Structure 1
Amino acid sequence: MSEPDTKIYVHGEWWEPDQGHYPVLDPATEQVVGAAPEAGSAQVEAAAAAARAAFDDWSAAPPAHRAEILDRIALLLARQASELVPLVQAETGSTMRVATTMQVPVAVERFERYARLAGASTDLPLPPQAVAATAMSRGGLVGAVARRAPMGVVACITHPEPGTA
């Protein structure tokens, strides 16, 4: 199991997973359809640190650049759909029709949407609201603007169900 797709990709390098691999089962047939790498806590910390190191550059990148990268991901997913559909179908246990019409195309559509949103304004005007008068304020109509901003990095840890690995 030394192929790159069974390793962990962190900060531009492929790493052997500290915890080895666990089987990926097709829930419809319970047949093993692959192996997933299982990182150790140090590898999770390294991945989070690498993501944090990239965060400032990514969040400061011009929206058009971020949109271009997200569009490229959507294009690559669309080009690889015929190879991805059987993998998604086996991993999720869905029907081929669901994998073909919903799962892979939805991933493509999401990245396309993310690309469009990358160029959208980060300022969202909120509808004016009437505020009652108080001892501290005359009250009246109040408006506000919400500003979307990148918040940081999240490390998500998943594990197969107990007894399946």
Structure 2
Amino acid sequence: MISTSSSDCQSRVFARRRCSAAAVGQSADASGTAATVRTVRHAHIDRAVTDNTTGGFTRLILDRRGRILGGTIVSPRAGESLAEVTLAMHHQLSTSDIAATTHAYPTYSDGVWSAAIADARARMNNPLMAKATKTLVILRRRLTGRPDRREQT
């Protein structure tokens, strides 16, 4: 389900701009305990800073593998940015897929990319992933004949 609405926002940030909200898929409330929520405030999105509309946010709802289950965007161009989230849901893309895609800069859709980057980084920083990556690097060095760093010292 896709829903969009547009109204004059009451916050001081959007006092002179028209703001809209758009959502698709699961919401943060209905996602359950297994879902992860990544929210990026538009104070960190350069297009919003440039337009002085930093009061909005982009929120992605993700399953445990990083696939997008839903999203909510509040910004002057929320409906435009939501298309990427809808496409990602339809094709069962993960945040790693979105993070690996080149995005136009600066745009409001940078919020979707930033939320995807935040999730991809968080998943890469877990201890199991760090150990697996280290093991694969050592194995690759041995298979290619490159010395391990520990052997060089």
Answer whether TM exceeds 0.5 for this pair.
Answer: no
Which of 1 and 2 has greater Rg? 1
TM-score normalised by L of structure 2: 0.29
